[in-house]
Amino acid sequence: MNRTAAIHTIGCRLNQADSALICGRLRLAGWRVVETDCGETVDLLIINSCSVTGAAAQKSRQAARRFRKLHPGCRVILTGCSAEADHRQWLRDGAADLVIPNPDKKNIIALIHELFEGEKPSPVRFSMEEKRGAIFTENAAADFPFKSRAFIKVQEGCENFCSYCIVPYTRGPERSRAWDEIVGDFEQLLARGFHEIVLTGVNICAYQDGGRGLPELIDTLCSRPGDYRIRLSSTEPHPDNRELIDAMARNPKVCRFLHLALQHGSDIVLRAMNRKYTAAGYREFAEAARAALPGIHIGTDLIVGFPGETDELFDESCRLVEEMKFANMHVFSFSPRQGTPAASMPGQVPSAVAKERYARLQEIAAASKKAFHRSQLGIPVGVIFEKEGNGVFSGWSDNYIHISSTRPGIRLHEITEIVPFRQADEGLAE
């Protein structure tokens, strides 16, 4: 076989991990995987889509149209969360030759074969049949041909059912990947020279296999020899997850980084969102992390314009956000997703009001980020430099600060100790 395939990934780190597994399956089946802008003919394009917001779903449709023009004659496959949430529209529009929902990603090679052989691809499921708490295996080795860091999928699914979120409907119930397969995948990635490996899932704190949770998994992975670090993807600020902080503190190979989605700083709105903590509980969790891990980067997600958000409730949220001094904030305007309770809640906020609130939070975010960077000046930190241009190396510290250096002799993709002494426009510099 001399066919080429490209994968276009939209969305979260879990999608990055899923795309790497698809890439591994393609290579094993004899496909040559190239980048989407490689300049040569591509026979197959796989769009691994996102549907967390309406805008993300629209990006998937735009990508399909763009690549149809860029690679005339290629077959287009859509998978990922938009394949679950918006499958009827994709089938109706004909934007993709094949729509593969999340549960059938493992069968993608057989489905591709049927597509290219002119057969009608086997029927695919558009309903979750996975069992809650099940242990799953991927039976595939993740491949990262164009990446400097690797991702390991350790968990799948969510049962929080936040009132605004489509993910439980597109990813199904919580399941955990088999312990031995994770450890084996991790050891292979170390052997291939990756110095940063990200553990990812929808809710990695829900990981459980044989009574062993995420803290025990971290202990086991960190016991492997080598010069590497482990980064955790988004985690939940639930009191039950405090053991995670202890595991991070006793394992210096774990990056001082937590992305804890706050979503809102008012308990009234948090209850309407069906979040599982209070503003005070969130603060306590973050303070415990900072006490145990000095210099930790705590980032968050925030939603403005959620139904019922008054000026007073928004001001309350802003006060908490300013007090929290986040290192990074992702701010989103509320995006109603069909099929979620919040889409039909009363008190929908006018878009002009949401836009003003969005701008205010962005100002707070920019000031908070600069303050965090300033607090880290003069403190030694491990950096993995990923790029070099005109003698300037740039990369990321373990506590997720973008750092640049002109020091000669830096080796890319390895951990280098740096002492940043000045603040640049976007990050720190040596």
Give how far Cα 108 sits from Cα of 23, 80, 85, 113, 118, Å.
Answer: 11, 12, 19, 9, 16
- Helices assigned H by DSSP within 130-265: 167-171, 179-191, 214-222, 242-250
Question: What amino acid occupies position 334?
Answer: F
| Residues 112 and 76 reside in one and the same domain | yes
State what percent of residues in the chain have pLDDT above 70. Answer: 97
What is the spatial distance between Cα 361 and Cα 329, in angstroms, rounded to a whole number? 9
**pLDDT (mean) for 103-125:** 80
| Residues 355 and 396 reside in one and the same domain | no
Residue 30 lies in a domain: yes
Task: Look up residue 372 and give its two tokens.
Answer: 């965090």
- Helices assigned H by DSSP within 136-228: 167-171, 179-191, 214-222
Give the residue from 116, 132, 159 where a domain finishes: 116
What is the spatial distance between Cα 205 and Cα 200, in angstroms, rounded to a whole number? 10
Give how far Cα 407 sits from Cα of 27, 388, 391, 397, Å.
Answer: 38, 11, 8, 16
| Residues 306 and 386 reside in one and the same domain | no
Residue 13 lies in a domain: yes
Residue 362 lies in a domain: yes
Give the residue from 202, 233, 255 where a domain finishes: 255
Res 125 pLDDT > 70: no
CATH of the domain at 206: 3.30.750.210
pLDDT value at position 236?
86
Contacts of 198 (CB under 8 A, 6+ apart): 13, 17, 149, 150, 151, 152, 230, 231, 232, 233
Task: Look up residue 197 and give its two tokens.
Answer: 């490996």
Residue 130 lies in a domain: no
Res 311 pLDDT > 70: yes
CATH of the domain at 314: 3.30.750.200
Model pLDDT for residues 336-347, shown as the tens digit of each residue? 988 899 999 999
What is the spatial distance between Cα 256 and Cα 24, in angstroms, rounded to a whole number? 30
Task: Look up residue 411 and give its two tokens.
Answer: 């080796």
CATH of the domain at 109: 3.40.50.2300
Model pLDDT for residues 46-75, shown as the tens digit of each residue? 999 998 877 777 888 888 888 888 888 889
Exposure string of 156-178, with b = 16+ CB inside 10 Å and e = fewer, is bbbebebbbbbbbbbbbbbbbbb
Task: Look up residue 159 and give its two tokens.
Answer: 């049962």
Residue 124 lies in a domain: no
| Residues 289 and 203 reside in one and the same domain | no
Task: Look up residue 127 and give its two tokens.
Answer: 């309903």
What is the spatial distance between Cα 204 and Cα 206, in angstroms, rounded to a whole number? 5
Q: What is the DSSP letter of 255?
A: -
pLDDT value at position 19?
94
Q: How many domains does the chain have?
A: 4
| Residues 199 and 93 reside in one and the same domain | no
**pLDDT (mean) for 139-146:** 87
Res 129 pLDDT > 80: no
| Residues 71 and 152 reside in one and the same domain | no
Residue 99 lies in a domain: yes
Task: Look up residue 251 and give its two tokens.
Answer: 């394992």
- DSSP secondary structure of 120-133: PPPP---S--PPTT
| Residues 184 and 96 reside in one and the same domain | no
| Residues 363 and 324 reside in one and the same domain | yes
pLDDT value at position 90?
81
pLDDT value at position 347?
96
| Residues 165 and 194 reside in one and the same domain | yes
Model pLDDT for residues 149-181, shown as the tens digit of each residue? 999 999 999 999 999 999 999 999 999 999 999
| Residues 249 and 235 reside in one and the same domain | yes
Provide the mean pLDDT of the chain: 92
* H/E element, 314: helix 311-324
Res 403 pLDDT > 80: yes
pLDDT value at position 124?
55
Structural domain of 229: 148-255
Model pLDDT for residues 404-429, shown as the tens digit of each residue? 999 998 999 999 999 999 998 789 99
Give how far Cα 224 sits from Cα of 28, 183, 217, 218, 227, Å.
Answer: 27, 10, 12, 11, 10
Residue 139 lies in a domain: no
State what percent of residues in the chain have pLDDT above 90. Answer: 74
**Treating both helix axes as pointing N-terminal to C-terminal, what angle do 311-324 and 351-375 enclose, rounded to 10 degrees?**
10
What is the spatial distance between Cα 379 and Cα 301, in angstroms, rounded to a whole number? 27
pLDDT value at position 83?
87
| Residues 265 and 367 reside in one and the same domain | yes
Residue 50 lies in a domain: yes
- Answer with the residue of higher pLDDT: 320 or 84: 320
| Residues 64 and 155 reside in one and the same domain | no
pTM of the model: 0.93
pLDDT value at position 24?
94
